[in-house]
Chain A
Amino acid sequence: MKHEPVIQTRGLTRYYGARAVVQDLNLEVPRGSVFAFLGRNGSGKTTTIRMLLGLVAPTRGGGSLLGCDIRALTPAIRARVGYLTEEHQLYGWMKVREMGAFQAPFYPRWQDKIFQGVIGHFGLKPEAKVKDLSRGQRAGLSLALTLAPDPELLILDDPALGLDPVARRSLVESMIYLTRRSDRTIFFSSHNLADVERVADQIAVLDFSVLRACCPLETFRSSVQEVQLRFAGAPPPLPNIPGLLQAFRTERELRVTCIHYNGETERALRQLSPLSLEILPMGLEDAFISYLGERGEKSFILADAEVAS
């Protein structure tokens, strides 16, 4: 039981008209992980999340959530999942305290201690009117309402969107607090790679509707590498390099980003007889950008005339 993934999809696919929004997705989210779901805007993250929750029907394929088929989720299963979206239903005329009291009866495992803890952490006053809250405070209230039912699986769709740095930090702290229970799983989408680096241990990368990576964060980071080659003159044309992501040439230098750099890659690069070959360490954000950026060779050289004009 413990080793059964909390989320699992097989060939999950969704079309809108003739356009595939999510294509053949095989995703596995281990129990107890903090799983970051990454990808550029429009890559299909939200549609995937909505399919996982049974809010959108898959065109093909399927999956399971806490062991239950996503096409037939029961209320009992839904009660064990916390879902936070941007458009969380908040009633402006209620007070913060009343929002909690209003939601509590719907959830058998509601814990007021968690609700109080989170609103306190975001600096919310229980007597404040919901309509007077700032964006960050509304996010804090939504998070409190999502966490108080003590969900086994927390699904957050871009929770950091539009939050200021202070509110974002409170969010990340709350996520870390949640990992105190090792059987709790967090699945969240985000564009903020600094937060991802802090909090996530697993990542999945969606690119143009297709899953391109699903692995521990460190595996992803260490498998993308940048190599700097120096030459006496203009760098020679680049042969076919296995795993090439991007190449960038300047006057006497070639910078090549590869995935799964190994002996074979190095031999291919050495054949260009560079003066030096150096592997440069890469941060998560750079690795992500090369991984999802346009493939192939680029140069950034503008003719002097163009710059001057």
Chain B
Amino acid sequence: MKEQLQKDFDNSIKNLSLSQKDIEIKKFCLDNFIDKGFPNRKDEDWKFSDLNQIIKKNIGELSFYNDQASTNKVDTSVFVDGLEHNKIVFINGRIEKIDFEYEKKDQIEIIDQSETINEFKNSNSLSDLNNAFTNKCFKILVKKGYQLIKPLIIYHTTNSKIWSKNINLRLNFELDKDSSLRLIDLFNDTSQKNFLNIFYNFELNENAVLKNYKVDKFENKNIKYSFNNIDQDKNSISETFILSSGSNFSKNEINCNLNGVYASAFVNGVFSLNNEKHHEIRSIINHLTENTKSYQLIKSVLDENSKAVYQGKIFVNSEAQKTDGYQLSKALLLNKESEFNAKPELEIYADDVKCSHGSASGSLNEDSIFYLMSRGLSYQQSRELLINGFLLDVVEKITDSEIKNLIKNMIGIKE
């Protein structure tokens, strides 16, 4: 892998006009990655999902060079109907379109940061990989007091042109005072056997509101890793919803720093897995100051030898008095070979806090099925009704009604 990395790195660098110093930094990150390799089971954070093995098994040899010269045709059929929205379109890792047609142009600034280095600090080697290979990087700044009229949908599309490729994406968002953004990440892959490595950084200033919905619904054979870092100032709110279903392997990581008082973070997730898929959500909520709040709800429905992992951590430092932290994960195992692993963690250094977590996993309740069947439903109908109700609970947590309906339709959940 080492030669491949070196060669692809040199190719990528050639096309960028970077200063010597920036190249040095990128090179340093590359060396770090070469040194550490893909995360494996020996890393505590990857205990339940050995990425190194998964890539070896599903992809084999990866290549890292992405030709950014040739453009891809934007396929409009993938766009969401019935919801007016702004768009950013990624095709095979290349930004093809940025379109804020519904917004006031002077309120949103798109800053090209490709020529400067934005090192992403994260302890695992994938951030090094991302730092070394990202070649286009944009920062989207929502200016003071501006609330986007329509949601922004980021289309992550890949097509059959790529194979055994590693794609690295980077986006930065800054929400200035009193601004708000609704953001949907929609994954749409017709490719196979690629590894997507996506890093987002959000900076939320006072009173800013971020709603991020990550929807990975369509069946595909890719491997995905996505890391969201969210820094929150006073009174800001972040809401993250993850629908984890389509990819062969997917790991979503949320790292949320509640730096300002009365900041709150919500993380909700649904795993709906079948067909030997293996998905993971790992969330770290850092309560760093007084009066902050976090709420997490993760539900999984696991069928056909699938495996879901939830690692959630609530960290409360000694200044963060009056913290309110809650975390619940529930799993339904529908199939003998399916598996649910959880590591709900609390690390608390302040005494005046209210923190709790719960985790439960098991099969569908036979009594409930019996209850429904005795009222005339078939076994299959009863089962579906129960699963529907189980997942509806999380989807109902979505605070935006427009998007809630969109997601309900996508999953096929009835009310």
- A and B together in one complex: no
